[in-house]
Amino acid sequence: MSNSSTATVVIDRGRAPEGSTHVRLEEFDGPLGLLLALIEARRLDVLTVPLAALADAYLDALASLPGERIGNLSAFVAIASQLILIKSRAMLPRRQEAPSEDLAEDAPDPEAELRARLVLYRAYRDAGVSLQAHALATVGLFRREPSTAQAAGLAGARPADLEPVPVTMLAGALGSLVQLAPPPEPPPEIVPRVVTIAERAAIIREALQGAGVLVLQDLLRGVRDRVVVAVTFLAMLELVKRREIVVEQAEPWGPIHARPTPSFGTPRAEVEELG
């Protein structure tokens, strides 16, 4: 069975359906509801009102029902016929003889029967109204549903019935963000930079001048420029090649120790040629 909550289902059913009444003919979903509404509109008591007096009003209301309610017409007509029967009986003089009592026992009074149906119907109609009121008052009971709670938490627990967030608020938030952000740095100037091996070799020599041993990592501590690091390393290798220093490293990634050799510091400036 397909979804019954949509109007399309009504069409599926292939006959003028009861559903067509839900195209919404106000409250009068059924004949009893209509009759009861007529009684209440006149501020009459269901328990005492002579139903015969309502037959005309009911027929008038029935005649004014829109055409699409035709699917339910039989139900309305059934009540109409009962009302007419009641009215006709009310107009006829009652016979008081015994036979009529027998008759009364055989066939229940149609007015009493219809009245009882009205009372029963009214009880459930009113119960439905109370149920709705209760639902609106308590809104409901909630079971633990992680997805629901989590979604609400992520949404900042914002009540559904609040007004939508004004756009200006978003613009304001963006504005404050802009103010907080530091002014963008000027684009770096492109300056040719020259790091020469001679320059770095001089630094290594200078460092070795004082101390007898030099740890390359110490020398480069704090230097973040990879080119400087690389060129310093090359300078060190160059000094090794010139036998000015010896280098040893006990283990991979370990400290690189450089020591001057006896030929250290020979005042030859050829290194600069390599720059």
**Quick one: which of 63, 112, 58 has its CA closest to 90?**
112
Tokens 């790091």 correspond to 195
Q: Which is nearer to another protein, 107 or 180 (CB)?
A: 107
DSSP one-letter string for 111-128: HHHHHHHHHHHHHHHHHH
> Using an 8 Å Cβ cutoff, are 20 and 69 in contact?
yes
Q: Which is nearer to another protein, 157 or 190 (CB)?
A: 157
> Using an 8 Å Cβ cutoff, are 19 and 13 in contact?
yes
In the bound complex, what is the minimum distance in angstroms from residue 146's beta carbon to another protein?
A: 6
Tokens 């200006």 correspond to 168
Distance from the first to the final alpha carbon of the chain: 88
Instruction: Please give the structure tokens belonging to residue 192.
Output: 């040719």
Q: Is 242 in the site for another protein (CB under 8 A)?
A: no
Q: Binding pattern to another protein, positions 152-191, x when CB under 8 A?
A: x--x-xxxxx------------------------------
How far is 246 from 243, CA to CA, in rounded Å?
Answer: 7
Candidate residues 130, 180, 206, 222; the one interacting with another protein per rule CB under 8 A? 130
Q: Which stretch binds another protein (CB under 8 A): 54-62, 132-140, 229-237, 245-253?
A: 132-140
Instruction: Please give the structure tokens belonging to residue 41.
Output: 């509109």
Candidate residues 136, 190, 250, 269; the one interacting with another protein per rule CB under 8 A? 136
Q: Which residues bind another protein (CB under 8 A)?
A: 1, 3-5, 9-10, 17-19, 21-22, 24, 27, 29-33, 71-72, 75, 78-79, 108, 113, 116-117, 119-132, 134-146, 148-149, 151-152, 155, 157-161
